[in-house]
């Protein structure tokens, strides 16, 4: 695939790594916001190649990880109903609710289907007018436009048996929440490139100014991440805190205007609870008044399902960079990708799962 392999070139990577080493004179703590970036960092062993004084903290940008237990329990309740076809992206199937997961609902006879686009769910709805088809619409600003488009089309074509279980969350309020925390150690952010390709970069200068942190919009391939780190370190060393776009091949300052218009039509800002973090005001989207009829929570009357998160695992501290995943007592023992205690162990993009899958070697060495 053109423009992919080129961004893994080992020689260019070596040059960037050398430049980062040369530029670094003291300790810095950087947070990569997006789970896709965490996955890439661990997958390619990028953090092993950075100076010891540059620490990567793995941020809360994995949509599977931050979807609250309550929402998953609501999804399970809907999926178990007769006559419902429950459609989801694949990796949500293994996320545990308080007593089961979507795989279990499926094995008990529920019609749970993996789709690769919400528009596929709409197609299923049109082909099965006697069934209620629900799509599990989770994720950040990245997955939202396709979900918005699906609801828009459902209304336009009068597909009344389709609905969306919405749990969208937004990156900028999460960055603000992390910086407002009294225990915050983060000194700079690699912003999520694909979020910015939708939303543009205008939301970030106020954050950079208020919290005096460099924010560098960064892509996902090894060279993208190294360039993001390099620019961030250069800013930190120079005492600057600006917004830079290190992913210009995908991100324009103004974002994807038609997508943003559709988002503004279909969704409205709402308070959201983040799994492992808690409630953050104005940190998510729900369907706007105009499209409320497609809200699965209302249609299936599951808003009474409330689930409290237990306090057994330490993913909150992991997400905040206070501990590395393997320092949690449950890591690799009670808590594995096979039996995840917390959501950061569930998705392959979650920090704990990435450590478990790709990092057990050095953990063995360290013990």
Partner 1 sequence: MQDATAVVNDVPDLDFEGWACPVPLRDVPSVVMGHGGGGAMSGELIEHLFLPAYGAAAAADLGDSAVLTVGSGTRLAFSTDSFVVKPMFFPGGSIGDLAVNGTVNDLAMSGATPLFLSTAFILAEGTALSDLGRIAQAVGRAAEDAGVRLVTGDTKVVEHGSGDGVYLNTSGIGVIPPGVDIHARRALPGDAVLVSGDIGVHGVAVMSCREGLEFGTTVESDTAALHGLVAAMLATGTDLHVLRDPTRGGVSASLNEIARASDVGIELVERLLPVPPAVRDACSLLGLDPLQVANEGKLIAIVPAEDADRVLAAMRAHPLGRSACRIGSCVPDHTGMVVAKTGLGGSRVIGLPIGEQLPRIC
Contacting partner 1 within 293-352 (CB under 8 A): 309-317, 319-320, 322, 334-335, 337-344, 347-349
Stretch that binds partner 1, among 106-114, 154-162, 231-239, 291-299 (CB under 8 A): 106-114
Distance of CA 40 to CAs 112, 167, 205, Å? 29, 25, 26
366 binding partner 1? (CB under 8 A) = no
Structure tokens at 312: 């057994």
82 vs 364 by CB, closer to partner 1: 364
Q: Which 15-74 residues touch partner 1, going by CB under 8 A?
A: 36, 42-49, 63-64, 69
Q: Which 228-257 residues touch partner 1, going by CB under 8 A?
A: none
Among 240, 249, 282, 290, binds partner 1 (CB under 8 A): 282
101 binding partner 1? (CB under 8 A) = yes
Q: Dihedral angle at the C-alpha atoms of 195, 200, 203, 209, nearest 10 degrees?
A: 110
Q: Quick one: residue 330, left, alpha or beta (phi over 0 = left, psi -120 to 50 = alpha)?
A: alpha
| Burial zone of 15 (CB within 10 Å; 0-12 exposed, 13-18 middle, 19+ buried) | middle
Among 84, 246, 263, 296, binds partner 1 (CB under 8 A): 263
Q: Dihedral angle at the C-alpha atoms of 140, 308, 71, 343, nearest 10 degrees?
A: 50
Q: Which 173-232 residues touch partner 1, going by CB under 8 A?
A: 173, 176-177, 180-183, 194, 199, 202-207, 210, 222
116 binding partner 1? (CB under 8 A) = yes
Q: How far is the CB of 68 from partner 1 (least distance, A)?
A: 9
63 vs 228 by CB, closer to partner 1: 63
Stretch that binds partner 1, among 23-31, 99-107, 149-157, 227-235 (CB under 8 A): 99-107
Pair 343, 315: CB distance under 8 Å: yes
Q: How far is the CB of 339 from partner 1 (least distance, A)?
A: 5
Rounded to whole angstroms, how far apart are CA atoms 165 and 65? 16
Distance of CA 65 to CAs 138, 165, 304, 352, Å? 10, 16, 23, 10
Q: CB neighbours of 17 closer than 8 A, spacing ≥ 6?
A: 49, 50, 226
Rounded to whole angstroms, how far apart are CA atoms 94 and 102? 6
110 binding partner 1? (CB under 8 A) = no
153 binding partner 1? (CB under 8 A) = no
Q: How far is the CB of 236 from partner 1 (least distance, A)?
A: 21
Among 280, 287, 305, 351, binds partner 1 (CB under 8 A): 280
């Amino acid at each position: 695939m053109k423009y992919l392999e080129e961004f893994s070139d080992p020689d260019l990577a070596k040059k960037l790594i050398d430049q980062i080493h040369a530029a670094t004179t003291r300790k810095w703590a950087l947070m990569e916001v997006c789970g896709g970036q965490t996955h890439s960092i661990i997958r390619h062993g990028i953090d092993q190649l950075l100076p010891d004084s540059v620490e990567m903290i793995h941020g809360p940008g994995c949509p599977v990880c931050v979807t609250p237990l309550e929402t998953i329990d609501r999804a399970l309740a809907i999926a178990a109903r007769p006559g419902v076809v429950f459609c989801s992206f694949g990796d949500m199937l293994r996320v545990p609710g308080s007593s089961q997961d979507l795989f279990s609902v499926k094995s008990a006879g529920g019609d749970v289907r993996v789709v690769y686009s919400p528009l596929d769910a709409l197609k299923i709805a049109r082909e099965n007018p006697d069934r209620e088809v629900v799509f599990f619409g989770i994720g950040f600003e990245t997955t939202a436009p396709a979900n918005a488009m699906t609801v828009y089309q459902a209304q336009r074509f009068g597909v009344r048996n389709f609905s969306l279980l919405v749990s969208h969350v937004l990156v900028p309020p999460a960055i603000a929440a992390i910086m407002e925390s009294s225990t915050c150690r983060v000194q700079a952010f690699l912003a999520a490139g694909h979020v910015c390709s939708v939303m543009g970069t205008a939301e970030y200068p106020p954050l950079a100014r208020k919290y005096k942190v460099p924010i560098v919009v960064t892509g996902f391939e090894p060279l993208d991440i190294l360039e993001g780190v390099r620019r961030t370190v250069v800013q930190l060393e120079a005492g600057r805190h600006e917004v830079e776009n290190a992913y210009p091949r995908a991100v324009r300052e103004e974002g994807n205007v038609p997508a943003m218009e559709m988002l503004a039509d279909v969704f409205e800002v709402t308070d959201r609870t983040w799994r492992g973090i808690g409630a953050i005001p104005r940190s998510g989207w729900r369907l706007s008044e105009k499209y409320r009829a497609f809200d699965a929570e209302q249609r299936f009357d599951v808003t009474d399902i409330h689930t409290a998160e237990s306090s057994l695992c330490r993913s909150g501290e992991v997400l905040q960079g206070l501990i590395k995943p393997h320092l949690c007592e449950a890591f690799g023992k009670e808590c594995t990708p096979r039996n995840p205690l917390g959501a950061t162990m569930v998705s392959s993009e979650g920090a704990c799962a990435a450590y478990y899958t790709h990092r057990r070697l050095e953990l063995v060495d360290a013990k």
